Amino acid sequence: MQKIKTLGDLKASGYTPKSIKDEMRDNLIEKLKNKQKVFEGILGFDDTVIPDLERAVLSRHSILLLGLRGQAKTRLARLMIYLLDEYVPVVKGSELNDDPLNPISGKAKDIIAELGDKTPVVWMHRSERYVEKLATPDVSIADLVGDVDPIKAATLKLPYSDERTIHFGLIPRSHRCLFVINELPDLQARIQVSLFNILQEGDMQIRGFKMRLPLDISFVFTANPEDYTNRGSIITPLKDRIESQILTHYPRTLDIGKTITRQEARLAEGQQSVQVSEILENVLERIAFSARESEYIDGNSGVSARLTIAGYENLVSTAERRMLINDEKKTQARLTDFWGVIPAITGKVELVYEGEQEGPYMVAIRLLGDAVKQEFDEHFPDPGKLIREGEYDPYGEIRNWFSKGNHTEFMNDDKDKSWKSSLEKIEGLKKIVEKEVKGIQKSDLHNFMELALFGLSEHNILNRDIIDRKFEFRDLLADMLGDFE
């Protein structure tokens, strides 16, 4: 079809114009019949958001994606271009992507009236048919719809009453396109009103001109829930005209969260020499899960998936920096490397009053502690429960070692050999890991030993201090007596 260059050839080919919503519907039907994945790279929405989205496309609806930040709303909208035909014909020189067999603009109609079947036709790729606008309070009706252009009127020597003096806004120029407006509540109410006609009647009036443009646009809007957005809201009549409202959500399981983080994290080529254990990935995801339920963090604001993505990048970079400083060829990330993840946490959460009182750094430390404790409890018995019920204490050898006045410390930039040596000198630590963690890989042994040590401190069995550039572990009772003295 792309070889067709004139209107006459297009007519002879048997080409039939199709609305963009019919086009998307037909292509979706084809993909579903062929069992093709429609939204590549979107995880965790297979049974929730994606079926709703597919139903909306089949119904030829305008769509509102409603959800907290970092829930892949814009990503979903951008992937919808793959439901468009790869190429569509356009009248060459038209402002509004006019279909040669169904032109709507005066300019395209004039070209066809003058040239007839010799009217030149160009082919527009689907990547050019995606238009995205971030709604901000300063967006005007002229930006979206259009206005009279005095320069055009003067250049063409036309009166302002002539429609050729109109400078079309972003929406008319998106004819036959997928048009996405992000953060819809930020659009002023009077600007939202300007969208009524196009959503309901499918046309648009510009200024006082009598002409009506029967625009063919598929609209997708994104927004945060209204109870979070203080800057504005979606006015009720506009919401009523958007046929499908689809709620997005955060990953509901650790495995989905980890897969998303791995997929989205942008690692440099040299960082492949850093190994990240699965238990560290679990701890990172648990930080996000804990943050979404924390009393210190505003739940209405949300905790973006970008927290774990940025955290993973920082975790790897922290280990890489240590590896470079120590002239090592490869290394593995450690729990102590999470001190480098804290900057990725503090900037991604919105604190409530209690959180402000604690301070962003201490809130991040609390989230890390909660995540470590949860991961510890997945692999090891609860030390507090064993003490209360008088059962055999598998941590007795570790407790005895520390109670004798022994202590251990981990510098943030310790060499791998020194880090492993510090763990191995703690009596009973390796034994408890080998007993409780079944089928443990040799490469994960020291990560589990470190997890056990940090977990015991979170259960208040050991005392842990973070001093300058090191973590120090001591016997809890000895520290209390030392303070008393």
Which helix (H) or strand (E) element contains residue 198? helix 196-200
Rounded CA-CA distance 333/167 in Å is 57
Q: List C-alpha distances in Å: 59 to 39, 196, 290.
A: 18, 19, 38
Pair 379, 289: CB distance under 8 Å: no
pLDDT score recorded for residue 277:
95
* pLDDT over threshold 80, residue 176: yes
Q: List C-alpha distances in Å: 84 to 120, 129, 203.
A: 23, 9, 21
Which residues, 6 or more positions from 335, have their beta carbon under 8 angstroms from its beta carbon?
280, 283, 372, 447, 450, 451, 454
Token pair 């409890």 is at which residue?
377
pLDDT category, 20, cuts 50, 70, 90?
A: very high
Pair 314, 337: CB distance under 8 Å: no
Give CATH for domain 380-485. Answer: 1.10.10
Which residues, 6 or more positions from 381, have their beta carbon under 8 angstroms from its beta carbon?
394, 436
> What mean pLDDT comes out for the span 424-440?
92
| pLDDT tens digits, 100-158 | 999 988 889 989 999 999 999 999 999 999 999 999 888 888 888 887 777 777 777 77
Quote the tokens at residue 162: 């002539």
Quote the tokens at residue 68: 């907290």
| pLDDT tens digits, 178-231 | 999 999 998 888 888 888 878 877 666 666 666 677 889 999 999 988 554 445
Assign domain 250-378 to a CATH class: mainly alpha
Quote the tokens at residue 113: 């009236």
Angle (deg, nearest 10), helices 254-264 and 306-325:
60
Query: Whole-number mean pLDDT of the chain?
Result: 88
pLDDT category, 315, cuts 50, 70, 90?
A: very high
pLDDT score recorded for residue 347:
86
Domain boundaries, the chain: 7-247, 250-378, 380-485
Give CATH for domain 7-247. Answer: 3.40.50.300
pLDDT score recorded for residue 386:
66
> Is 156 buried (19+), middle (13-18) or exposed (0-12) by CB count in 10 A?
exposed
DSSP state of 72: S
Which residues, 6 or more positions from 357, have their beta carbon under 8 angstroms from its beta carbon?
none
* pLDDT over threshold 80, residue 165: no
- What predicted TM-score, i.e. pTM, was given to this entire model? 0.87
| pLDDT tens digits, 270-279 | 898 999 999 9
DSSP state of 319: H
Rounded CA-CA distance 308/287 in Å is 8
- CA dihedral (364, 365, 370, 376) positive or negative: positive
Pair 432, 450: CB distance under 8 Å: no
DSSP character string of 103-159? --SHHHHHHHHHHGGG-BEEEEEGGGGEEEEE--TT--HHHHTEEE-HHHHHHHT--
